Structure 1
Amino acid sequence: MDTSHHTLNDLFAQLGLSSDDGAIEDFLERHHLSGQEELSKADFWNDGQRKFLRDAIAEDANWCEVVDELDALLRH
């Protein structure tokens, strides 16, 4: 079991997205979640990304903290 601490950059790389700080800032400027919208159901993810995000939370995986961080950042 991988117990390492994952960063936001790691998460973006895992999702197949550009993971440098500038690319993450651009992503956060272009994408937002509203109200009770679930992170994994947002229309800007592909099916594989949705599954990864859904599983990370459902399984309380070692990715869940950084997935929660992304969720919070997308709500600002």
Structure 2
Amino acid sequence: MEAFWHRFSDLFDQLGLPSDVESIKTFIDTHSPLPDSVRLEEAACWIPGQAQMLKEELMKDADWAEVIDRLSLALRRSS
């Protein structure tokens, strides 16, 4: 089975968010730091459909899981 690598821009497209570099940076800067006690899909920045997509893809350990984990780490960094 061939692995598929998604980029942040692919994930932001999938979530229906602006996916250019500056928009992604702004999103991360705006919503950081996400406390360790908050699961990524439970963060206040998501609408229900986005939260559901993140939760389902992580539960399935799907192709999206790696880039979702990277987003989680990026949002947990200190400002």
Tell me if both proteins adopt one fold, taking TM over 0.5 as the criterion: yes
**1:3: how far off?**
4.4
Q: 2:4, 2:72 → 1: CA distance?
A: 20
2:47 is equivalent to residue 46 of structure 1: yes
Deviations 1:9-55 (A, max 9, x none): 10000000000000000001100211221000001100100000001
- Give the 4+ runs in structure 1 shifted more than 4 A: none
User: How many percent of aligned residue pairs carry the same amino acid?
Assistant: 39
Whole-Å Cα distance in 1 between the matches of residues 57 and 8 of structure 2?
14
Distance 1:53 1:17 in 2: 13
Report the TM-score when normalising by structure 2: 0.90
Map of 1:29 onto structure 2: 29
Trace 1:1-76 onto structure 2 (pairs within 5 A): 3-32=3-32, 33-76=34-77
Query: How many pairs were matched up?
Result: 76
Structure 2 residues not aligned, in runs of 5+:
none
Over the aligned positions, Cα root-mean-square deviation in angstroms equals 1.5
Q: TM-score, normalised by structure 1?
A: 0.93
List runs of 5+ in structure 1 lacking aligned partners.
none
